[in-house]
Structures are given as C-alpha cells and as structure tokens.
C-alpha cells in the first residue's frame, strides 16, 4: 500500500478493498448476517503512517459514493477517522513483527436499512470512554472521541477477535440519515 494519496489520485485498489487487500485475522468475528441483500468493502491500514486517518476517510468516502449513501458521509467519515486515530494513539503493538507493523482493519457493511463501520486492531484492551457525568470529563485527555462517536452513530459496540484483538463497530440507521439502502451491490 502506498503511504500517501492525494485527492487527484485514484483511490488505491488495496485501500478500496476490491478483493486484493490483506485478510486480517480479526475479519472472522462478524456475525453471519452478510447475505445477498448486503454489500461489503474492507481494507487494511498501517496505523504508524502519518496518513492512516486520512486514508480511512478516503476509504469511507469512496464506498459511500459508490453505494449512493453520500448523505451519510459526514458522520461516518468522522467516526472512521476517530476510531483509526484511536488505534494509532492507543493500540499496543502486535507481539511479533517490526515496530511499525501495527495494522487496523476497516470495513463497511450495508444492508437495506443499516450501515456498519468496523475498525479492528491487535490490541486486546477494549476502548474506555470518559463518562459524561464524571467531574472534569469534558477536560479529560481521553475518551471524548468515543463520546462523539457514540453521539453520531445509532450504536457503538466492540467484540473480542479470535486472535486476541478487538473490533469496534458503529451502526448507522439509513432512515435517520434520509437515504435508501444498498442491496446486492446496487442501489435499493
């Protein structure tokens, strides 16, 4: 994968997830709901590169544009950028490999009535959001981003991956964003 993508360049095929991207071990934690009414796009990002969040935003914008879900871009792009940024800032390095081998998986799954954003990494620790009622939480050094993601998404949850890492999911109801769904790779 290239390290930089300018807005004039075509989105890299490996980043866009057209079947040639790496298959990270945490990809198999998704429930068996994917069927002919759903579309999926996924990729892998090197989070130690300075442009991982930028590439995550490009990935989301490209998928939403292709699927006709452009009206959702602001919320989904912001959530993707925040979650990938959290991996870059907080995730532990994998047990083996080079120091800059931290990877994050990113994926979008769309059904006729909902869109899921998923970001996975090797770190076994679950995210910790600052509680709004905690005194000084608005000034806390961490946790505000997850509060923002929780406010923008219709659902936020995480799950342990088989490899010991985790996947963080955001659910967006398409109706709440005023868009129709995507079914079987075509606009519904």
Q: Does 2 fall in a domain? A: no
Chain-wide mean pLDDT for the chain?
A: 75
The CA–CA distances, whole Å, from 46 to 2, 43, 56, 93, 132 equal 10, 10, 10, 12, 32
User: Which H, E and C letters describe the chain, residue by residue?
Assistant: CCCCCCCCCCCCHHHHCCCCCCCCHHHHHCCCCCCCCCEEEEEEEECCCCCHHHHHHHHHHHHHHHCCCHHHHHHHHHHHHHHHHHHHHHCCCCCCCCCCCCEEEEEEEECCCEEEEEEEECCCCCCCCCCCCCCCHHHCCCCHHHHHHHHHCCEEEEEECCCCCEEEEEEEECHHHCCCCEECCEEC
Range ranked top by mean pLDDT from 19-23, 60-64, 128-132: 60-64
Q: Does 69 fall in a domain? A: yes
Average pLDDT for 169-174: 95
Q: Does 1 fall in a domain? A: no
Q: Does 120 fall in a domain? A: yes
Provide the pLDDT confidence category of residue 80 given band limits of 50, 70 and 90: very high
Instruction: Output the domain CATH number for residue 78.
Output: 3.30.565.10
pLDDT of residue 145: 86
Domain count, the chain: 1
Structural domain range at position 83: 13-187
CA distance 31 to 39: 14
Q: Does 4 fall in a domain? A: no
pLDDT of residue 129: 64
pLDDT in tens, 136-166: 555 556 668 889 999 999 999 999 988 788 9
- Residue 181, token pair as written in the block: 């769904």
pLDDT of residue 15: 35
Q: Does 133 fall in a domain? A: yes
Q: Does 73 fall in a domain? A: yes
């Amino acid at each position: 994968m290239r390290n930089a993508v300018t807005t004039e360049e075509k989105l890299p095929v490996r980043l866009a997830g057209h079947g040639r991207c790496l298959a990270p071990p945490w990809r198999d934690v998704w429930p068996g709901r994917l069927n002919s009414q759903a579309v999926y796009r996924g990729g892998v990002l090197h989070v130690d590169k300075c442009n991982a969040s930028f590439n995550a935003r490009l990935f989301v914008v490209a998928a939403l544009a292709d699927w006709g879900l452009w009206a959702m871009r602001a919320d989904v792009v912001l959530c993707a950028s925040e979650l990938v940024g959290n991996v870059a800032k907080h995730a532990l390095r994998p047990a083996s490999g080079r120091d800059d081998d931290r990877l994050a998986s990113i994926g979008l799954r769309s059904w006729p009535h909902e869109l899921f954003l998923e970001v996975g990494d090797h770190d076994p620790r679950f995210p910790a959001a600052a509680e709004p009622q905690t005194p000084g939480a608005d000034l806390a050094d961490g946790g505000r981003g997850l509060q923002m993601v929780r406010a923008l998404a219709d659902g936020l949850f995480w799950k342990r991956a088989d490899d010991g890492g985790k996947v963080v999911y955001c659910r967006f109801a398409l109706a709440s964003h005023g868009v129709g769904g995507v079914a079987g790779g075509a606009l519904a």
